Amino acid sequence: MPIYEYACEGCGKDFEELIVRRADEAEVACPACRSRQVSRRMSRPAATRTGAASGAGGPPPRCGPVG
Ligand SMILES: [Zn+2]
């Protein structure tokens, strides 16, 4: 299930919200101060972007002489 990470711009609290429908994004409010001024953060668990937009399967980004 899509769980997005939000950061409140009012109190600075970061929280996670389960977004079932796309319309739920407009109703996301801070659980601490109930503020709508929240910004969604990119949450990619167990994944790191190195800039390479390759599909799947490939050598690691580390290149160097081995041996
Ligand atoms: Zn807040």
Bridge partners of 19, per DSSP, are none
pLDDT digits (tens, 9 = 90+) for 25-49: 889 999 999 999 999 987 665 545 5
- What is residue 34's predicted lDDT score, i.e. its pLDDT? 96
Distance from the alpha carbon of residue 11 to the mean position of ligand 1, in angstroms: 4
Domain boundaries, the chain: 3-41
Average pLDDT of the chain is 81
Cβ < 5 A residues, ion ligand 1: 8, 10-11, 13, 30, 32-33, 35
Distance from the alpha carbon of residue 28 to the mean position of ligand 1, in angstroms: 11
Q: Which residues contact 30 (CB under 8 A, 6 or more apart)?
A: 6, 8, 10, 11, 13, 15, 36, 37, 38
Q: What is the mean pLDDT of residues 2-28?
A: 92
Is the pLDDT at 12 greater than 80? The verdict is yes
Distance from the alpha carbon of residue 36 to the mean position of ligand 1, in angstroms: 8
Is the pLDDT at 64 greater than 80? The verdict is no
